[in-house]
């Protein structure tokens, strides 16, 4: 079974397009995974309270920062200032 990668579209991570053209290392740029990346029983909620929205936003920002750091680590890229 092949599953669509949850990190990218066709092997490209849109928000990382400025880094190595957004190459996705999760699926090696193929856009496909050999396992289902979706947590079982995950339900997409349509309505969020403002508080939940804020928490999600903060969490996503933290995740994005961590992902970028992971990406750099995976590619041996140092941050230059």
Contact criterion met (CB below 8 Å) for 40 and 34 = no
- Residue 5 interacts with Zn ion (CB under 5 A): yes or no: yes
- Residue 24 interacts with Zn ion (CB under 5 A): yes or no: yes
Specify the 3-state DSSP secondary structure of 61. Answer: helix
Distance CA 58, CA 69 (A): 17
Segment contacting Zn ion by CB under 5 A, of 4-12, 35-43, 45-53, 61-69: 4-12
Using the rule CB under 5 A, which residue among 7, 16, 22, 71 binds Zn ion?
7
48, with CB counted inside 10 A (0-12, 13-18, 19+), is exposed
Please, which residue, 8 or 16, has the CB nearer to Zn ion? Answer: 8
- Residue 27 interacts with Zn ion (CB under 5 A): yes or no: yes
CB of 42 to Zn ion, least distance (A): 18
């Amino acid at each position: 079974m092949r599953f669509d990668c949850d990190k990218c579209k066709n092997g490209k991570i849109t928000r990382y397009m400025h880094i190595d053209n957004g190459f996705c290392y999760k699926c090696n740029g193929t856009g496909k995974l050999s396992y289902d990346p979706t947590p079982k029983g995950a339900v997409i909620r349509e309505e969020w309270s403002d508080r939940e929205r804020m928490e999600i936003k903060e969490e996503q920002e933290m995740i994005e920062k961590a992902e970028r750091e992971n990406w750099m680590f995976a590619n041996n890229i140092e941050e230059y200032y």
